[in-house]
Amino acid sequence: MSGPTYPTTRRRTRLDAQFDRIRAREEAGLAKSGGGSRAVKKFLNNRLAVFGLIVFAIIILSSIFAPLLTPYDPNKIDLRGMLQAPSWEHWFGTDRTGRDLFARVLYGGRISILVGLGSAILAAIIGVLIGVYTGYVGGWLDALAMRVSEIFMSFPQIILVLMLVSIMGQSLVNLMLIFTLTGWGGIYRMARARMLSLREEEYVLALRSFGLSRPLIAYKHMLPNALGPIMVNITLSTAAFILQEAGLSFLGLGVPLSIPTWGNILNVAQDIRVLQTNWWIWLPVGMVISLFVLSVNFIGDGLRDATDPSQQG
């Protein structure tokens, strides 16, 4: 066991092979310099991230072009065709009122992705607007923003969301507002922390001595240097919001049931008979949600590795 030292006993991994290939290319004088950003190349080298990107694109595109992919209306009730198992006519079968489930999954994707991505972007805008400025300026404003975010973040998220749903009532817009309200804290903290370290950079000192106004320094000159982690955060919170929408709608407390969303399709699976005999109602849509969230998470991870080398594991 007391054999040779660490580097030589280590088994060769995929990274080693990759490194050797790069070295061989360099020695042959073929190493490309320039041409495409380094982060993009790194992202495209990450297999899982590319897989995520492809799945993500497929699901988003098929939701957007839903009318081209299915002739059915997601809300059209057909009582003669209730609870049909998947067939050539209805790829995912039909539900209890005879609505075509494939159409519902496609059109439902529009709303679910809108809620997830929309709330994530709104939350990011608010979090970044507050975090970048207060992080740069500091002082009482910073302390106040920090306390407020602490209060929001000390609630378990789902509890706060459900509490607000019970106060504000159920609607699509309300749900997005609630997600924004409960989700800005994370990205605010990240933006603020980034600003605290950027604040000490020399270029900021230079800008300040030129007499630039504080918002201009913070938003125009410092913010671009924090974009990487912000993008990562947006993707990861999109995934989280889509999961939450699905969970809430499954409980019947998310988007109103009249609007098809992924969670609303799953709502009927609370009925044990549906669970037992009509697997096609809940299984495919559950898998679509999982696959979509997985792809978003892979993209987020790939972005993190590509933009922030210190986080790489």
Partner 1 sequence: MLTYIIRRVLILIPMAFVICFLVYLGLELTPGDAVSHMINPDAAGSMNPTQLEALRQSLGLGQPFHVRFWSWFTNLLQGNFGYSMSGGVPIANIIATRLPATLELAAVALVFSTLIGSLLGVLSALKRGSKTDSALTVIGMLGVSIPEFFFGLVAISIFALNLGWFPVGGRSMPGYVTLWDRLPHMVMPAMVLSIMLTAGVMRYARSSMLDALSRDFIKTARSKGLPEWRVNLLHGFRVALTPVVVLIGFRLPVLIGGSVIIEQVFQWPGIGNEFISAVRSQDYPVVMTIALLSVMAVLVASLIVDILTAVIDPRVRLGE
Which residues of this protein are in contact with partner 1, per CB under 8 A? 1-2, 5-6, 11, 13-16, 48, 147, 150-151, 154-160, 162-163, 165-167, 239, 243, 246-247, 250-253, 266, 269, 272, 275-276, 279, 282-283, 286, 289-290, 293-294, 297-298, 301, 313
DSSP element (H, E) containing 261 = none
Q: What is the SS3 assignment for 94?
A: strand
Shortest approach of partner 1 to residue 30 CB, angstroms? Answer: 25
Instruction: Compute the distance between CA of residue 296 and CA of residue 105 in angstroms, rounded to an integer.
Output: 18
Shortest approach of partner 1 to residue 160 CB, angstroms? Answer: 7
Q: How many CB atoms lie within 10 A of CB 220?
A: 12
Nearer to partner 1, 191 or 248 (CB): 248
Shortest approach of partner 1 to residue 11 CB, angstroms? Answer: 7
Shortest approach of partner 1 to residue 274 CB, angstroms? Answer: 10
Instruction: Compute the distance between CA of residue 172 and CA of residue 193 in angstroms, rounded to an integer.
Output: 32
Contact between 77 and 99 (Cβ < 8 Å) = yes
245-257 residues labelled b (16+ CB within 10 A) or e (exposed)? bbbbbbeebbbee
Nearer to partner 1, 251 or 257 (CB): 251
User: Rg of the chain's alpha carbons, rounded to an integer?
Assistant: 24
What is the per-residue DSSP string for 21-47? HHHHHHHTT----SSS-HHHHHHHH-H
Shortest approach of partner 1 to residue 48 CB, angstroms? Answer: 7
Nearer to partner 1, 45 or 213 (CB): 45
